[in-house]
Structure 1
Amino acid sequence: MLITIYTKNNCMQCTATKNMMDKLGLPWQLVNLDEEPAALEDLKALGYRQLPVVMADEDHWSGFRPDKLIRLTQVQRAQG
């Protein structure tokens, strides 16, 4: 499962998301919008106005969502 976190510097919810993903042992890659501002337009086109935006296969959401992160752990385990 490929998980991408779109974040910016000094984003508290982004930090909370990354910390929880590490704690859960979920692999992830980071796209920092301060360093890659072009990606922001893609997120806006999808209707996102809040960070972080987490994209995991077919599922995606914005904000710090512990419930969604725990669900990703369950999906990852089921996939083996």
Structure 2
Amino acid sequence: MTKRFLKEHNVSFEERNINQEPQYLDTLKQQGFQSVPVVMNDAIDPIVGFRPDSLRELVD
């Protein structure tokens, strides 16, 4: 749902799929995240899970 939200609002993103690239799971765990998706952007704090209220901050 997060990916769909970003696409529908024309927010560009880079997807890192932990099923296809498990090394990213280790990176997320090292950073303290315990669930996915995690949306990271320099302008805001990381968004964990589907949070349309927080994702709206990324919409121009």
Cα RMSD of the aligned pairs, angstroms, is 1.2
Structure showing the higher helix proportion among its residues: 1
Normalising to structure 1: TM-score of the pair?
Answer: 0.67
Normalising to structure 2: TM-score of the pair?
Answer: 0.86
Shift, 1:69, TM fit: 1.1
Moved over 3 A (4+): none
Instruction: Select between 22-31 and 53-62 the one with higher mean Cα deviation.
Output: 53-62
Structure showing the higher strand proportion among its residues: 1
Select the structure of larger CA radius of gyration. 1
Question: Any gaps of 5 or more consecutive residues in structure 2?
Answer: none
Q: Which has the higher contact order (CA 8 A, sep 6+)?
A: 1
Shift, 1:29, TM fit: 1.1
